A = this chain, B = another copy of it.
């Protein structure tokens, strides 16, 4: 019997979940929920109903796991606790500093309903977190480093678009090769923000806008750009559309640690991602952990979990026997 998946919110992430569900034979898309007018939504999967978000409560018994595809700023802090009262849920809440608070809120609701909620699923938080944990536990005398990119940062692109005279923009975060090599060298270097990443901006200026002023405003913007070496390229809207419409991302988690009687041996653990589509990869992680949520709940578990709490085997459709035979 397949696991019935609901998608709550149909943006980039929701569409990614829809595609990912189709790649997994043991999962079945049961319904899509939207806050827009459901009749205005054309989804990719024939025969699957689209409901207004308010109808979710009525579908309580038709959905095994609801994958919540809202944004972290305002949607998920409301939606995940509310939906955890009705469903097993998975979300991609990624405001790192607020994860403990979100966990607490969701945990209370999921314990009350007897459901399982898996929060902060994706790659960072998510697979990067898992790798920071494994690395630190295996090599306690060490240090870890996270680099992001090359990839599009939505937040930084938005910040540029808010500048007066800017019509459109894309910002790429790029790890500095020399910093990556220094870390891989095993010397545990101390690296400043500026030494780790550079920022490259592709900006479409409005007709008659002062480009020098825009460039200056970008490069001196506190938090977003001032601490980085930033380059700004002005291009046409057509060029932006043609060459910068995809959403690649990725990054590196590197643990460098020492072992031995006198800590004389150095070990480097490196995990990296190179993603053509940031939202589609995140969706694929969400879908795999939806499988775990269903299985955990069917075994009687309830409450809030993160990727750190879930046995790897639970995200796979294969049995323990198959996994031991094929992968171990």
Interface residues in chain A, defined as those with a beta carbon under 8 Å from any beta carbon in chain B: 16, 19-20, 23-24, 44, 96, 99-100, 103, 120, 125, 127, 129-134, 136-141, 184, 257, 259-261, 265-277, 280-281, 283-285, 288, 291, 306-313, 315-317, 320-321, 323-325, 327-328
Contacts and interface: CB of A to CB of B under 8 A. Distances in A.
Name the residue among A23, A99, A260, A327 with the largest chain B CB count within 10 angstroms: A327
23 contacts: A19-B260, A20-B259, A23-B141, A23-B259, A99-B325, A133-B323, A133-B327, A134-B312, A136-B327, A137-B291, A137-B312, A137-B316, A138-B285, A259-B280, A259-B281, A265-B275, A267-B273, A267-B280, A269-B273, A270-B273, A306-B328, A307-B328, A308-B311
Contacts of A306: 323-324, 328
A275 to B, nearest CB: 5
Contacts of A315: 133-134, 137-138
Nearest to A288: B137
Q: Give 4 nearest A-B pairs by CB, closest first.
A: A265-B276, A268-B274, A259-B280, A265-B277
Contact of A309 (B16, B261, B320): B320
A74 B96 CA distance: 48
A312 to B, nearest CB: 5
A10 to B, nearest CB: 14
Contact of A277 (B127, B259, B269, B272): B259
Contacts of A134: 127, 130, 312, 315
A144 to B, nearest CB: 9
Contacts of A310: 311-312
A274 B267 contact: yes
B283 A137 contact: no
B271 A270 contact: yes
A125 to B, nearest CB: 5
A277 B260 contact: yes
B20 A129 contact: no
Nearest to A264: B276
Contacts of A311: 308-311
B265 A137 contact: no
Contacts of A313: 133, 308-309
A232 B308 CA distance: 46
Nearest to A327: B132
A261 B306 CA distance: 28
A275 B258 CA distance: 10
Name the residue among A24, A44, A311, A328 with the largest chain B CB count within 10 angstroms: A328
Contacts of A20: 259
Contacts of A132: 327
A134 B136 CA distance: 19
A291 to B, nearest CB: 8
A66 B317 CA distance: 32
A276 B257 CA distance: 10
A13 to B, nearest CB: 12
Given A120-B328, A129-B327, A325-B100, A276 B280 contact: no
Contacts of A103: 324
